[in-house]
Amino acid sequence: MKILTWRGTLITSILAIALVYLLPTVCPDCWPHKKINLGLDLQGGMNLVLEVQSEKAVETTLERTIHELKKELRDGDVKHSGISLNAGNTITAVLSGKENIDGFNKILSENFNTLMINSTQKQGEATTMVLKLPDKEQESIRKMATEQALETIRNRIDEFGVSEPDIRIQGENRILVQLPGVTDTQRAKDLIGRTARLNFQLVDETGDVASALKGTPPPGDSILYQVKTNPQTGQTIKTPFLIKNRVLLDGSSLTDARVMIDSQYNEPYVGIEFDRKGARLFERITGENIKKRLAIVLDKTVYSAPVIQDRIAGGKARITGNFTTEEARDLAIALRAGALPAPVKILEERTVGPTLGADSIRMGIVSMIVGGLLVIIFMAIYYKGSGLIADFALIMNIILIGGGLAAFQATLTLPGIAGIILTIGMAVDANVIIFERIREELFSGKTPAASVKAGFERATLTVLDANVTTLIVAVVLFQFGTGPIKGFAVTLGLGIVASLFTALVLSKSCFDFFISGKKVSTLSI
């Protein structure tokens, strides 16, 4: 009796917890506010296949290497006639004089051992060297760019607030992004596709912008535009700026980016903060360039170019740009998540409408109800009173699966519904094995209580064998499967655990409740 009380308390607690977690799915305002997440195929959303332009990552790495190489040569007093990046990801360096060539080779071997000299050509006194990265190094950069892009996109989507997104690498440089429940697809695409490379560069105010627009900008400068849209007329105005190519500070030093409201104009802007090193650098840059214009450039677009009035200490700055609150929030998310190592291109875009998902849910529920009712009727007819216990266990089994899905915040997909329907059959199968063993014991002349006890003891190993092997398969599918296969594995695994509990614990307790300690001469089975 003591054991029965302990078991009854355990069963009641588990069922109560499952009901509590299942309730918010029916009544969304109920505590604990965890409802079953529906997958892309059930609630609609968007599916994107992105291609990471990993070749651009190699190009960016070489550009950065050239910048560092020039600095090292300058510090080492090694003169050169030009170092430039060529098509095909090679670097050309032109030097003259043995002393400069020896100094160049020394710096190259000490600080740039990943660069290899592909060819050397001498023309008069000038020596032209063609440098390149080894193929293995280039492949490593491409692979790393795809992996970094995956993490950056994942961080942005997490901050965007999408529950249960599916983001994974496909092939060498493609990323699959599935966002269930997203309706503002354009906003999501803008957030994911934005490179978010932030630079602080000086405006060249001595150059002539008009002549630069007609011809070639002065050496070391580029033409970049500031784009503003008039909210009343919708007209877009592009203002050209002559920007110095040298990047004084970039977004790698950012520690935070938040949406703020300007108290004077009541407009949103993005407040940014630098780490200690970035703050020192920003203070030095602003101190050395007072009365000059410092452009804040994001993805080669000038957001603002204020005149530096004084040295700015504290490592805080602001990005203004006539934003809406949503645009400012998305920009802050992109800056916090970091820049993409290379641009991404949308190869495939598919939107799943919620109507299709609603149809899938309706058909899935109809299938579950019809299948469940047929099983319940069969068990009640074939096993009579004992069949009703199996039916009760079956209903509790479905409640436990639903509660488990909500508690673990798993995602229910269309294959997941198939997994639940499959579990209904497996749950009844366990009861059938147990009931047949009890019948055998009754036919041998044992009492109902002895038959129930012996029936459960004999059937337990068989039930465990059948379910544990299927559970192993579910674990393997969950570990190595993706998307819908993983959803199927989750519901199948939860269903098997629930099935074992209801068949071996709940059903046994029901039998004990009806016959234990009572003089029962027959058993309805």
Mean pLDDT computed over 432-451: 88
| Whether the predicted pLDDT of 358 surpasses 80 | no
Report yes or no: 117 and 129 within 8 Å, Cβ to Cβ: yes
* Domain contains 177: no
* Domain contains 320: yes
DSSP letters spanning 406-429: HHTTPEE-HHHHHHHHHHHHHHHH
pLDDT at 354 (0 to 100): 65
pLDDT at 428 (0 to 100): 85
Range of the domain at 121: 54-137
Residues 398 and 299 in one domain: no
For 217-255, what is each residue's pLDDT tens digit?
Answer: 888 888 999 887 776 777 888 889 999 988 888 887 888
CA distance 196 to 337: 9
pLDDT at 356 (0 to 100): 61
For 101-114, what is each residue's pLDDT tens digit?
Answer: 888 888 888 888 88
Q: What percent of the chain has pLDDT over 90?
A: 8
Distance from the Cα of residue 32 to its chain's centroid = 25
pLDDT at 357 (0 to 100): 63
CATH number, residue 61: 3.30.70
* Domain contains 525: no
Distance from the Cα of residue 130 to its chain's centroid = 41
For 151-193, what is each residue's pLDDT tens digit?
Answer: 889 888 888 877 668 888 888 889 988 888 887 888 888 888 8
CA-only gyration radius of the chain, Å:
34
pLDDT at 50 (0 to 100): 92
pLDDT at 223 (0 to 100): 92
Residue 338's beta-bridge partner residues? none
89, 118, 137 - which closes a domain: 137
Cα separation of the two ends of the chain: 24
Report yes or no: 128 and 93 within 8 Å, Cβ to Cβ: yes
Q: Per the omega criterion (within 30 degrees of 0), is the bond before 32 cis?
A: yes
Residues 112 and 255 in one domain: no
pLDDT at 51 (0 to 100): 93
* Domain contains 149: no
CA distance 318 to 272: 6
Exposed / middle / buried, residue 56 (Cβ in 10 Å: 0-12, 13-18, 19+): middle
pLDDT, averaged across the chain: 85
| Whether the predicted pLDDT of 490 surpasses 80 | yes
**What pTM value is reported for the model?**
0.65
Residues sharing a CB contact under 8 Å with residue 30, sequence separation 6 or more, in sequence order: 23, 24
Helix (H) or strand (E) holding 146: helix 135-160
Residues 359 and 346 in one domain: no
Mean pLDDT computed over 342-363: 78
CATH number, residue 331: 3.30.1360.200
| Whether the predicted pLDDT of 1 surpasses 70 | no
Strand order in the sheet with 116-123: 82-86, 90-96, 126-132, 116-123
pLDDT at 483 (0 to 100): 66
What total number of domains does the chain contain?
Answer: 3
- Lowest model confidence (mean pLDDT) among 129-143, 346-360, 508-522: 346-360
pLDDT at 489 (0 to 100): 86
Residues 502 and 399 in one domain: yes
CA distance 250 to 281: 10
